Amino acid sequence: MYGYIYTRSLGYCSALSLNSSRKREAERMAKSPEEEHPHKAFGWAAKDSSGVLSPFHFSRRDNGVEDVTIKILYCGVCHSDLHAAKNEWGFSRYPLVPGHEIVGIVTKIGSNVKKFKVDNQVGVGVMVNSCKSCEYCDQDSENYCPKMIFTYNAHNYDGTKTYGGYSDTIVVDQHFVLHIPDSMPADGAAPLLCAGITVYSPMKYYGMTEPGKHLGIVGLGGLGHVAVKIGKAFGLKVTVISSSSRKEREALDRLGADSFVVSSDPEKMKAAFGTMDYIIDTVSAVHALAPLLSLLKTNGKLVTLGLPEKPLELPIFPLVLGRKLVGGSDIGGMKETQEMLDFCGKHNITSDVEVIRMDQINTAMERLAKSDVRYRFVIDVANSLSQSQL
C-alpha cells in the first residue's frame, strides 16, 4: 500500500548542491549494487516489471555511529511489495528488493546507540530515515516528512538505493529501529510493522478507542484481521463488513468479531443502517462509499486505508446531513509504532501468518494477487535464504 507516497522520496537531492548531487550520482552509477557499499549482502530482487523475483547480490553500508546492523530472521509480504515488484504504481526502480515488515537480531551497534544491544530482537518497518528537523518529525510523525526515505525502492541521502527485507541483513539508523516485545513471536510480529500500525494509528488519531463504541471493519484481509483484534482489545464492539459470507465463521468464531454484515445483502445492510460509530475501510479495490456512510450514526467517522487505482465517488449529502467525516491515514510515526507494538504485546496480538521459504516467494505473490492467503505471508529468511539458490 501507499504507493503514491513513494514519489516523496524522489526529492532527496533537494538539500544538496546540484554539482555535488551530479557527482555523487555519477559515482553511484559507476558501481554495481554489489560494489556500492563495503559489506556484501544477498537477497531476492525483481529485475523488471514482470515482478518475478530471483537471487540477487548487492551490498550494505558500514555501520555508522548512529546505526544498527540487523540479521534478518523474518520478513512479511505486504501487498505493496507485489505492486512495487510489478511497477503497478509507476515508480519502481530495478533491481528492487522488496520487504518492509522486518524482524531480526541486532549484530552490531554504533558508538552513539544506547537503546539497543547486540542480540536484541528488533523490527524495521516502512521507513528508514527522515529529515529529523521538519514540523512533522518534531511531532513524531516522521511518516509525513516530505523527505522521508522508504525501506526499499527509494534513495538514501547519499544517493545510494535502499533495498528491503527480502535479504539477509540490513543497516538502519537507530531512530527507525523498533523493539519487538520478548513475548511476541518473530514471524507473527513482522506484519504488525506495516499492517498493525496502519490500522492502529487512525484508531488513535480519530478517537476510535472508546470502550463500548461500535466499529465496522470493511474487508477481512491482512489489515482487516489485525483491526478486529486491536478493536476488541480497545473494548469496542466490532462488526466485519464483507462482500460475501465466506469468512463469516472465521471472523466470529476465531477472530472474535461481534457481528458480520454482508454488504451485498440488502436486508443485512438495512438492519445495520445507522448503527456504527466508526468504520475502517481496508479495501483497495474500487467500491462504493455511500452504502458504508449509511451505516454510520450521526457524527460517525469513515477512515479509508486502501489505495484503489481509480478515484472513489464521495457523496456529499450524507456527510452534510449526518455531520459525518471521511478521512485517511498513512502508517504512523516511530513513537506511535513502538506504542502499537507494546500494546499488541500486552494483549497477545499478532498477525495470522503463513510462513514460506524464500524460494516460494513467486508462488506466494501469485496467490497474494488472488487474495489466497490467511492473512499474511511471512518469509523465513534466516532458514531459507541461501546463496546456493543462485
Q: What is the pLDDT of residue 182?
A: 92
Query: What does the angle CA 361 – CA 4 – CA 13 come to, to the nearest 5 degrees?
Result: 100
Exposed / middle / buried, residue 249 (Cβ in 10 Å: 0-12, 13-18, 19+): exposed
Q: What is the pLDDT of residue 317?
A: 96
Cell numbers given for 30? 559507476
DSSP-assigned beta bridge partners for residue 302: 279, 326
Cell numbers given for 366? 501469485
Which residues of the chain fall short of a pLDDT of 50?
Answer: 1-23, 26, 388
CB 285 within 8 A of CB 268: no
The pairing of beta strand 376-380 with beta strand 67-77: antiparallel
Tell me 93's DSSP state: -
Q: Is the dihedral of CA 371, 372, 378, 381 positive or negative?
A: negative
Coil, strand or helix at 148: coil
- Neighbouring residues of 245: CB distance < 8 A, sequence distance ≥ 6: 260, 262
Residue with cell 552513539: 112
- pTM (predicted TM-score): 0.90
Q: What is the pLDDT of residue 14?
A: 37
Q: What is the pLDDT of residue 24?
A: 52
**How far from 359 is each of 52, 74, 122, 278, 388, CA to CA, in Å?**
11, 14, 24, 41, 11
Q: What is the pLDDT of residue 117?
A: 98
Q: What is the pLDDT of residue 15?
A: 36
CB 6 within 8 A of CB 91: yes
Residue with cell 533537494: 14
Q: What is the pLDDT of residue 389?
A: 55
